[in-house]
Structure formats: C-alpha cells, structure tokens
A and B are shown apart, each in its own frame.
Chain A
Amino acid sequence: MKRSEIERQLKNDLAASAPSDFASVLARCEREKPVSVLVTEPVLAGGNVGETAHDHRHGGKLRALAVSFAAILFIVLSLVWIFRSGSVGGVKGKPAPFSNGYFVLDINPSVELSYDKNGKITEAAALNDDGEVLLYGTELVGKAYTQATGILFERCLELGYFSAAREDNAILASATSNDGGRDEKMTEQIKTLFSEKFSAYKLRGVVITGVSNPELETEAQKHGVDAQKYALIQSYLALGGALAESEYASITIRELYAKISEKEAAIKEAEKLALEAQKLVLQGELLEGLSEAVEDVLDGLTEYIDRDFGGGAFRPADEHKKHYYESKIEEIAEYAEEIGDARTAEDCGRIVEKIFRSLDGLQKGEPDQTFRILIESAKISIQTLFVSFEEVNKALNNKKATAEEIEAARKDKFDRDVFEEDEDWEDWQEKHEEDFSSSWYDYKNRWQQARERDLDD
C-alpha cells in the first residue's frame, strides 16, 4: 500500500468520523457553564501558527468602469422670479418681459441662476463640483441673463466642456413657471441664445428644450412635478437612491444633485474596492494553484522514496536514510503549502527559493543517481510553474492600468471625432434634438450604455 494511499484513507476516515453538529455545540454553550481546563502548555514562539492572516478573497473578473466624462454638457439654469408685491412689470405701466418661473437643467456642470422679472441675475449657485469650477470668478450677479449665459458659454469652452471635436455638445434648457406650467417664451429665448453661440463658434451642439416623452410627462404630472425634475428623480432612484413619493414635489433640484453626486461617488468607490477585492481573490487562487502544483511535484519524490529507493529492497540500514529523506521532503512540502498563504508574488518567490535550497541540499552528494535526476526534474518543474505564475500575476496587475488606459482612449476618441463638413448645422441640431429630447433620462442611459460598449471593445 502506498504512503499516499494510507494518508488519503486516513483523511477520509477522519473526515467521516468527525462530528459536525454545530447546533448542539451552540445549545450547550448557551446552557452550560464552562468546564475548567488548564491551558498549561505554552504557545511556543516561532512566528505564525496555524493559518496566516488571509485576505477575504472573492472570485470574479475585472471589468472596466464606465466613463463619466461630460460628453454632454447641460447647464442648469434655475431662474426664479421674485415677486414684488403690487408690481408686475419692470417698468411702470409696461408688462414684465417674462412670466415667473424657473429653469430646471440637468447635470454636469450644473449651476442654478436666479433672476428677477427684468431678467437680471440675482443669484448664481453651483449644483455640483463641476458647477463650482464653472462659476469660479465669473461674477454673474447683477448682469442680464443674456450676458450671464454668454459668460457661462465661454467658460464652458475654456474648460473643455464644449469642444469642436465633439459631436455631442448639448444643453438642456426648459423654463417652468411657478405655477408648474411650462414657460415657452423663456425656453425659446434660452434656446436661441445657445444655438447662436454654437453657430458663432462653429460647434456641433444641440439645445434640448424639454422632454417630450408623453409617458414621462404623465408620470411627472401625477407626482406634481415637471418632467425634467421627474427624470432627475428617476436618475437618482436608478442609482439606488431612496426618495418617498411625498418628497418629490418638495425636494429641490440642488438637493437632488447633491444626492446624485453622493450616490455616484459611493458607487464609484464601491466598484473600485470590488475590483481590488476581485483582483486579490484571483491572485489568491493563482497562489493556491501554484502551491498544489508544487506539492504534486514533491509527491513524485515521496513516491519514489517509498517504492524504489535503494533499488526497492530496503535494508535495515537504509530505513534510517529513507525516513530522513521522507521527513526532509515533508518539510519542503510544507514550504509549498506556505505558497498558498503568500500575500505577494515577492513572498511567493522567497518561498520558492527556500524550496530550491532544500532540494539542493537533498541532491548534494546523493549516491542514488535516479533520485538525483528526479530532484533535478522536480526543480525544473517548480521553476516552470513559478514562471507561469509570475506571467499571469503580472497580467493581472496590469488590468488596472488597462482600465485607466481605456478611459483615456475613450476621451481621445471623443476628442478626435471628425464632423462631416457638408452637413448643415441647423439640420444636425434638429436631427439630434429629436434623438436627445425623447427623454432626458433615456438619453443619459443610452450614452452611458454607448460608453460601456466602447470600453468593452
């Protein structure tokens, strides 16, 4: 009977005999007082005993993150009319130029501009971090809305939110009056302003002037909010956010943006951590695989000793030597086990070095030629296994860089897009507005999916 067979049967017998009733153990723990047992034997010094600290590792495949570049820029203008009691128009006797209302815009960067009935900006606030960057140093308060939007447009150009290389420059502008209805006049004014700016700077850009998705409109009305706000709420819910329906009307756009930004940041962080964890698990699996493979190689040496050492006919004097070799290989096999617990490829390398030194020690001066050749062969096998492990591990570590490179490539691709020069600018705008305006929410999803497809390519 081979040694390996004896060991296998012992393992099976012990596994079959060992108790497995944890419920009874727990029940006893809750019921009984402990039995007093002296723990008199000291834990001997010598480093880790038992299992070494081991990262909790999960399986999986690394996935590149979707890019959240501002392929589309939407400036949020929230224009809030301030009523003055008893006065409607800006000039006595003349009607005010606009009806009271507000612009709800979406996203990145996002700013909120309040203005009075004469169209002068009374407040400018950022709704997200990019909005802060956009507004920095602009001093819009006191300026006419026409001037303010011009300044913001130029700033977007400076900061790269609009680019001649992009086909997807866009602004969402939709005015809503305080009574909840759409303010068509102001909406048209904003559309005209930005369209003219796009044209003047020869940019491919579209001004989306509202969501024309009937279903979305219906749902929004049920909740007492305009369609843009409803779409924004849906975006937040889609990210895993929670908002009671009773809060739909009362939550401000600013609050919604803050929540969305937080959620997106948290998701990004969680995905980053999950990727790192997955990478660690995969590395752990590689190390365990290497450990087992090396142990298999060493098993071959043990089998030889067991079966054929000294010509297969053991003399009493040889037994001593046989047991010596077996115990040495046992020691080397334990080094191989340690590979599975290594934290890094460098740790693994150090253990493999230890294995080689031990095998060299066995080989040196060994008169049994077959055994010497077997040891040499074992060393070559282990070296090959380790080199393969290093290659795979290196590729695994590069995956993170690859994801970053893909993000950079994605940005380059957008920046390098070439427009068809013969396409009419107005036609292009109209064509794309129809695509974009079906639903702001759907539009965002489609762009997100397009980005993810590109990253996967």
Chain B
Amino acid sequence: MSLDSLAPKIARHDEKAFAELYEKTRRLVFSVCLGVVKNSALAEELTQDVFVIVWSRAGEFRGKGFKTWLLTIARNSSINALKKARRETATDFFENEHLGGRYTVDEQIETGAVLKAALDKLGEPDRQIVLMKNAGLKMKEIAQVLGLPRGTASWRYSVAIDVLKKELEGVE
C-alpha cells in the first residue's frame, strides 16, 4: 500500500496501517533525526516522538506527499530538540550549524566507521543528504525535505561522498 493511502487509515487509528508506516519509514525518519542531532540515542528517541506525533496528527494531512510531511516533522522535531538541548546544557555540546555553531559527535555512538565519518566530517546539508540518500530517499524527495534545488542536492551528495572517501582512505 502506498504511504499516501495509509494516511487516512492512521488518522482513524488503524494500528495495522500504522505498523506498516513504521516499518517502511523508520530508517528514513531515524536518518533525518540522526543527520540533525548526530547522536544515535537521541535520534532514536526523536524517531519515536515523530511517530507519536504522526499518530495524533495524521488527520491533518491532505493530498499527496505523506512521506515528505512525515520527514518534515522529523526534521523540525530534531531541530527543536537541538534548540532545547542548547538552552539546557551548560556547555555548547550540540550546536546547530544553522544557528552558527559546530557539531561534536557523541563518543558513545554505536555506529560503523562510515556512518561515524559521515556524522563527524560532513557539514550541513551534506550530512543530511548523505544519510537520507542511503536510508532510501530519492534525490527529488531529499531536495523537497531540505528545501534545496534538486541539482544542488545531487551535486552536494557527490561532493560529500568524495569527502568521505578521502577521510576513510586516510584512516586506512
């Protein structure tokens, strides 16, 4: 079943439809959250938050593009979480590059080397583009979520992969 057709069912709190949505999009949502917060534990929590929001607000969705709507919620939730973390923590441990800061990577992150390099070495929006692309989003969809021209997103992806390649070859 297409994601757009799941939306009205989820609005009626159909658990089967919700489970289908979760299974089809959990990696995408996680990758979006992780791309923003660079912390897998926080990204996991945010992923859960996103689905709870979708459960309660699916009725507000209209038309086509349920996936983009979902991922926009994921991105906004993540950005809000960062802002909150910034306000609450004594040290500037998480700073959103959009707000002029730099990211540091959670050292306890349990990820592979490539993912770690992506989180550590790539800036915005390259990091998000790389994660979303490899979580299964098409470039057109990534461009829509991030508000970029499609060509720019493709270009940035190509550049980001080169950066990762150099980083990983340097490590090897």
Using a CB–CB distance below 8 Å, which chain A residues touch chain B?
Answer: 1, 3, 6-7, 9-22, 24-26, 28-29, 32-35, 37-41, 43-44, 46, 48-54, 56, 319, 322-324, 326-328, 330-331, 334, 337
Check A1–B2 contact: CB distance below 8 A: no
Check B56–A46 contact: CB distance below 8 A: no
Check B76–A53 contact: CB distance below 8 A: no
Q: Does B48 contact A (CB under 8 A)?
A: yes
A334 to B139, CA, bound (A): 8
A51 to B47, CA, bound (A): 20
Check B138–A337 contact: CB distance below 8 A: yes
Beyond A17-B110, A28-B52, whether A37 also contacts B76 by CB under 8 A is yes
Beyond A1-B169, A17-B30, A17-B110, whether A37 also contacts B77 by CB under 8 A is yes
Check A38–B76 contact: CB distance below 8 A: yes
A48 cross-chain contacts in B, Cβ below 8 A? 64-65
Most buried by B among A25, A44, A331: A25
A9 cross-chain contacts in B, Cβ below 8 A? 112-115
Range, interface on chain B: 35 or more
A32 cross-chain contacts in B, Cβ below 8 A? 52
A16 to B110, CA, bound (A): 10
- 14 of the cross-chain contacts (CB-CB < 8 Å) are A1-B172, A10-B134, A15-B27, A19-B44, A25-B52, A39-B69, A43-B63, A43-B64, A50-B141, A51-B3, A54-B1, A322-B158, A323-B159, A334-B139
Determine which of A15, A17, A39 lies in contact with B73 in the assembled complex, contact meaning CB atoms within 8 Å.
Answer: A39
Beyond A19-B48, A49-B65, whether A34 also contacts B57 by CB under 8 A is yes
* Contact residues, B36-93 vs A (CB, 8 A): 40, 43-44, 47-49, 51-53, 55-57, 60, 63-69, 72-73, 75-77, 80
Q: Does B15 contact A (CB under 8 A)?
A: yes
A26 cross-chain contacts in B, Cβ below 8 A? 15, 18-19
Taking the closest CB of chain A, its distance from the CB of B102, in whole angstroms, is 22
Check B53–A50 contact: CB distance below 8 A: no
B144 cross-chain contacts in A, Cβ below 8 A? 43-44, 46, 49
Taking the closest CB of chain B, its distance from the CB of A52, in whole angstroms, is 7
B53 cross-chain contacts in A, Cβ below 8 A? 34-35, 37
Q: Does B103 contact A (CB under 8 A)?
A: no
B168 cross-chain contacts in A, Cβ below 8 A? 1, 6
Check A14–B155 contact: CB distance below 8 A: no
Q: Does B31 contact A (CB under 8 A)?
A: yes
Determine which of A13, A49, A337 lies in contact with B112 in the assembled complex, contact meaning CB atoms within 8 Å.
Answer: A13
Nearest B residue (CB) for A16 = B112
Nearest B residue (CB) for A28 = B52
A38 cross-chain contacts in B, Cβ below 8 A? 76
A10 to B30, CA, bound (A): 13
Check B161–A35 contact: CB distance below 8 A: no
Taking the closest CB of chain B, its distance from the CB of A44, in whole angstroms, is 5
Check B48–A39 contact: CB distance below 8 A: no
Beyond A37-B80, A52-B2, A323-B158, whether A25 also contacts B22 by CB under 8 A is yes
A10 to B160, CA, bound (A): 13
Determine which of B3, B68, B161 lies in contact with A3 in the assembled complex, contact meaning CB atoms within 8 Å.
Answer: B161
A40 cross-chain contacts in B, Cβ below 8 A? 76
Check A14–B115 contact: CB distance below 8 A: yes
B134 cross-chain contacts in A, Cβ below 8 A? 7, 10-11, 14
Check A323–B19 contact: CB distance below 8 A: no
A49 to B60, CA, bound (A): 18
* Contact residues, B136-158 vs A (CB, 8 A): 138-141, 144-145, 147, 150-151, 154-155, 157-158
Q: Does B17 contact A (CB under 8 A)?
A: no
Beyond A6-B168, A22-B23, whether A334 also contacts B51 by CB under 8 A is no
Taking the closest CB of chain A, its distance from the CB of B34, in whole angstroms, is 7
Taking the closest CB of chain A, its distance from the CB of B160, in whole angstroms, is 10
Check A334–B140 contact: CB distance below 8 A: yes
B115 cross-chain contacts in A, Cβ below 8 A? 9-10, 13-14, 17
Taking the closest CB of chain A, its distance from the CB of B113, in whole angstroms, is 8
A247 to B124, CA, bound (A): 75
A10 to B49, CA, bound (A): 24
A39 to B114, CA, bound (A): 31
Check A51–B67 contact: CB distance below 8 A: yes
A19 cross-chain contacts in B, Cβ below 8 A? 26, 30, 44, 47-48
Determine which of B22, B67, B159, B162 lies in contact with A50 in the assembled complex, contact meaning CB atoms within 8 Å.
Answer: B67
Beyond A1-B172, A25-B52, whether A327 also contacts B140 by CB under 8 A is no
Q: Does B108 contact A (CB under 8 A)?
A: no
A33 to B1, CA, bound (A): 28
Nearest A residue (CB) for B18 = A26
A121 to B84, CA, bound (A): 92
Taking the closest CB of chain A, its distance from the CB of B167, in whole angstroms, is 10
A365 to B125, CA, bound (A): 33
Taking the closest CB of chain B, its distance from the CB of A384, in whole angstroms, is 26
B110 cross-chain contacts in A, Cβ below 8 A? 17
A-B contact sample (11 more), CB < 8 A, given A10-B115, A330-B154: A13-B115, A14-B27, A17-B43, A19-B48, A25-B22, A39-B60, A39-B72, A323-B159, A327-B151, A330-B139, A334-B140
